[in-house]
Amino acid sequence: MRSRSQVGEHLRGTSRSTVLTPDNVERALRRISHEILERNSPDLDGLALVGVLTRGVPLAYRIAGNIKHFEGLEVPVGSLDITLHRDDLHSGEEPEVRGSRVPFEVEGRTVVLVDDVLFTGRTARAAMDALLELGRPAAIQLASLVDRGHRELPIRADYVGKNVPTARGEQVRVSLGETDGEDGVVLERDLGE
């Protein structure tokens, strides 16, 4: 039997299915944290995390918290605003710039860019461009909670919480406690397609 919200969504022409529950999100982030540690050991002193605004930032802080819990290591965390590096800005459009906050030198560090969803690869490319304006890291790695495919650029994540095959018209919606009040990932489909 469907809940009222599911019935309402169905009547509006949208189908929603849960991809990750709150427990799944936490488990995926713990696994990503372990994989980051394994790949970058023993040189963890040069490690840093940079979250892509908006939802990449709380994910980066959670990964840093996991690394501190597992290894007792404080990994610096920053936030990156990629707005001015996007390739889909139209001339005359006034973009909302929120500003980056990277309170450490990226020069010579291994920087893990963290984002919620990897789709076409254009956001990751913009994030790399924005990061390189701050200095020349020794390496850039990419962590994504969800990889939904459909790449338009030759970019892949080094760390993925969950691979979710999707159709182009589907939407992956990530909710996090810090930004949305609760954790979860849902896949939305327009029933008219």
**pLDDT tens for each residue of the chain, 193 residues long:** 444 444 444 446 789 999 999 999 999 999 999 999 999 999 899 999 999 999 999 999 999 999 999 999 999 999 999 998 877 666 666 767 778 999 999 999 999 999 999 999 999 999 999 999 999 999 999 999 999 999 999 999 999 999 999 999 999 999 999 999 999 999 999 876 5
Backbone angles phi, psi at 76, to 5 degrees: -65, 145
> Is 142 within 8 Å of 128 (Cβ atoms)?
no
- The pTM score is 0.89
Half-sphere exposure of 162 (CA within 13 A, CB side): 20
Q: Which regions of the chain does DSSP assign to beta strands (E)?
A: 14-20, 47-52, 77-80, 110-118, 139-147, 159-163, 171-175, 184-190
Q: 44 Cβ partners below 8 Å, 6+ apart?
A: 37, 71, 73, 75
- Per domain, the residue ranges of the chain are 22-168
10 Å Cβ neighbour count for 178?
A: 14
Both tokens assigned to 158: 């080094």
What pLDDT does residue 184 have? Answer: 98
- CATH for 22-168, among 3.30.230.10, 3.40.50.2020, 3.40.50.720, 1.20.140.10? 3.40.50.2020
> How far lies 97's CA from each of 57, 81, 83, 179, in Å?
16, 7, 6, 18
What pLDDT does residue 97 have? Answer: 74
10 Å Cβ neighbour count for 116?
A: 24
Q: 60 Cβ partners below 8 Å, 6+ apart?
A: 49, 50, 51, 77, 78, 79, 112, 114
Q: Which regions of 40-183 does DSSP assign to beta strands (E)?
A: 47-52, 77-80, 110-118, 139-147, 159-163, 171-175
